[in-house]
Copies of this chain bind each other. A is one copy, B any other.
């Protein structure tokens, strides 16, 4: 029971076991909305008080963006050319392929351009796919599973046990039987008998707001849109109003960078992930990196402040660093040097504290705790 060994050896539990008390809001700090005084417009006090919130908030965002390492979100983007569109309420109401709504302030032409690009990437012909740009990967998962259920109303949902948690949430939402199966790490292509693919747009591509791309076989989509009497349109998206800015961001990046750029970036991320894993192990820190992955798994740093600073995703004894395109060797060096220095104070020579055993998480061969090194 390595977790117990760790607890016994270090005597440290602390925040690792903090408990979520359900049914109670942990009412975090908030920026209260205050009713303006009648003369605020004249005195300019309101404007000044709002600026006094926004300016430090911006500095916080800069600092946090600089140090971020733990989530698969690419923070390296430059959308200055698109600032001109923030003034518009861009809304791609309903189906991207059926222009039933007369609302004109949309970006459907960009959306369909992006969808075509992904359909081509995943080897599905233009006239054989349907899709839309979602608000996030979860929306795509919820959509794809709903389409599946409508095509096979009594079907059982088989999902890899490594699936994103939203897949199991969907089974519960839709009252479907669900069975977990072992994972595969496959190439995504519609040449295989798959029904739909959902991918996040704000992760590897990078986008100021969460978004995703959902592509499904056209033949399946009608199962979702039987009740057309009210709408005189097929109602095939999860949401009615849809963010019209996200398609423009994605279109801009795909056009600017292109497929070859993404290939190069993937290579760079894999190399940098290897660099991180090697340097961690050289420093006596257990770490694991799967083939074709850019996520390095390591022991959970002892200090919560350090975890928060670097925004590491943690689970039990382990932490993740996701090497995205914005994570350079320089940033990794800074992280490594700080971790190594801090670790010397956490697990000093006095023998009182030991680094955690992570053999049960990442395998004995990757663990460098006092039992396995």
Residues of A at the B interface (CB closer than 8 Å) are 20, 22-36, 46, 50-51, 54, 57-58, 61, 64-65, 67-68, 70-71, 73-75, 77-79, 81-91, 93, 96-105, 107-114, 116-117, 126-127, 129-130, 135-139, 142, 146, 164-166, 168-169, 172-175, 200, 202, 206-210, 218-219, 221-222, 225, 227-228, 230-235, 238-245, 251-252, 254-261, 307-308, 311-315
Contact = CB atoms under 8 A, between A and B. Distances in A.
Given A29-B112, A46-B255, A135-B139, 13 more contacts: A27-B97, A30-B108, A34-B255, A36-B258, A58-B85, A67-B104, A89-B208, A90-B209, A101-B313, A165-B231, A174-B174, A209-B243, A210-B242
A173 B225 CA distance: 11
A25 to B, nearest CB: 4
Nearest to A230: B165
Given A27-B112, A89-B75, A208-B245, A84 B58 contact: yes
Interchain residue pairs A-B with the least CB separation, the first 7: A210-B241, A30-B112, A64-B104, A136-B241, A33-B117, A25-B97, A135-B135
Contacts of A36: 255-258, 260-261
A20 B238 contact: no
A206 B88 CA distance: 10
20 contacts: A20-B98, A22-B234, A23-B219, A25-B127, A28-B99, A29-B112, A30-B109, A33-B116, A64-B104, A73-B89, A77-B89, A83-B86, A89-B202, A91-B210, A135-B139, A165-B231, A169-B227, A169-B235, A175-B175, A209-B209
A46 B256 contact: yes
Contact of A20 (B83, B234, B259): B234
